[in-house]
């Protein structure tokens, strides 16, 4: 079996057996393709692989591609999955990546925006033209419901329930959940569906909610590109995913419980949601330093009498 066929069979297993999302399968495919190319340059076969060979590959990736610990950990996960596949196919006896420790990922707090900054970005959309109105409705919904980019572009018309203020989204691993959106998002969505969407589609038809100039589903790239343009117009620093982070942080700051936020975000593990509690604490500390700059001195053990 040549490497191309091997890679195809591995990707098919990821989707059909391991139930990985198409995006995850593509990430794994790219990593394993790099690994197989590395083996060819080193004249190595799968049957003779040892852990030391895998370690050298990861070191090569670190030096050549300058990957960080997060990317290195993802590469190890990809390799473990691939070697399990080759074992099942009878191509390898052992999994040389099993003994490798996942590189520790630095704890990075997600960037968040204040409500005023979010409103400036949303206001940058020119709602007098169909595409601008579509973008305003799209980003309002992402912010109001805390959607991932993939979840937003895959929404269908029938997934929106204005009566209940709910949207049915398909998250990671094909898991469906209902999310709540507010009145502001509902207002712009109704305008987009009634005014802009028919003009963008023309005589064409589509079941997708957000469509592009071609009449097909709006692409992730187009969604990112348009958002970046609004960010540049307003002079803010933000990525599209920041709207989702800001949504979660505002909920927790407003008193929402962690389990509810986990459900709304579609996190499989609550530890993923917990990072937003640290963001909230960091915002409190920032306000503490800003409005009470001398409190640290007053609270010094040398100055406080008990």
Residues annotated as part of the active site: 148, 172, 241, 244, 267, 276
Rg of the chain (C-alpha set): 24
Backbone φ and ψ of 176, nearest 5°:
-95, 145
Residues whose CB falls within 8 Å of the CB of residue 6, separated by 6 or more in sequence, listed in order:
36, 86, 91
Q: How many angstroms from the chain centroid is the CA of residue 57?
A: 27
Residues whose CB falls within 8 Å of the CB of residue 68, separated by 6 or more in sequence, listed in order:
none
What is the rounded distance in angstroms from the CA atom of residue 59 to the CA atom of residue 57?
5
229-236, Cβ contacts within 8 angstroms, sequence gap of 24 or more: 230/121, 230/122, 230/124, 230/125, 230/135, 230/139, 231/121, 233/124, 234/117, 234/120, 234/121, 234/124, 236/113, 236/117, 236/120, 236/121
- Answer yes or no: are the C-beta atoms of 109 and 282 closer than 8 Å: yes
Please state, as a whole number, how many other Cβ atoms lie within 10 Å of the Cβ of residue 298.
9
- Answer yes or no: are the C-beta atoms of 99 and 55 closer than 8 Å: no
């Amino acid at each position: 079996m040549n490497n191309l066929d091997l890679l195809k069979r591995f990707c098919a297993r990821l989707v059909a057996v391991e139930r990985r999302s198409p995006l995850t399968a593509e990430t794994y495919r790219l990593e394993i393709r790099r690994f197989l190319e590395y083996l060819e340059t080193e004249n190595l076969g799968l049957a003779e692989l040892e852990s030391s060979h895998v370690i050298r590959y990861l070191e090569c990736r670190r030096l050549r591609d300058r990957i960080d610990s997060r990317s290195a950990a993802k590469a190890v996960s990809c390799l473990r999955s691939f070697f399990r596949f080759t074992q099942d196919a009878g191509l390898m006896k052992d999994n040389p990546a099993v003994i490798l420790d996942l590189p520790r990922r630095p704890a990075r707090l997600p960037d968040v925006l204040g409500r005023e900054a979010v409103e400036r970005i949303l206001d940058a959309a020119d709602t007098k033209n169909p595409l601008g109105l579509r973008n305003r409705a799209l980003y309002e919904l992402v912010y109001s419901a805390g959607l991932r980019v993939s979840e937003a572009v895959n929404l269908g018309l029938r997934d929106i329930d204005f009566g209940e203020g709910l949207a049915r989204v398909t998250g990671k691993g094909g898991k469906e959940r209902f999310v709540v959106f507010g009145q502001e998002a509902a207002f712009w969505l109704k305008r987009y569906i009634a005014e802009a969407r028919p003009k963008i589609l023309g005589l064409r038809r589509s079941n997708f909610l957000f469509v592009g100039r071609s009449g097909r589903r709006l692409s992730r790239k187009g969604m990112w590109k348009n958002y970046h343009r609004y960010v540049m117009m307003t002079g803010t620093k933000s990525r599209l995913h920041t709207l989702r982070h800001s949504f979660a942080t505002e909920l927790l700051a407003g008193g929402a419980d962690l389990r509810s936020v986990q459900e709304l975000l579609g996190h499989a593990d609550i530890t993923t949601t917990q990072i937003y509690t640290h963001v909230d604490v960091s915002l409190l500390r920032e306000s503490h330093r800003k409005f009470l700059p001398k409190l640290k001195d007053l609270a010094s053990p040398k100055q406080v009498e008990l």
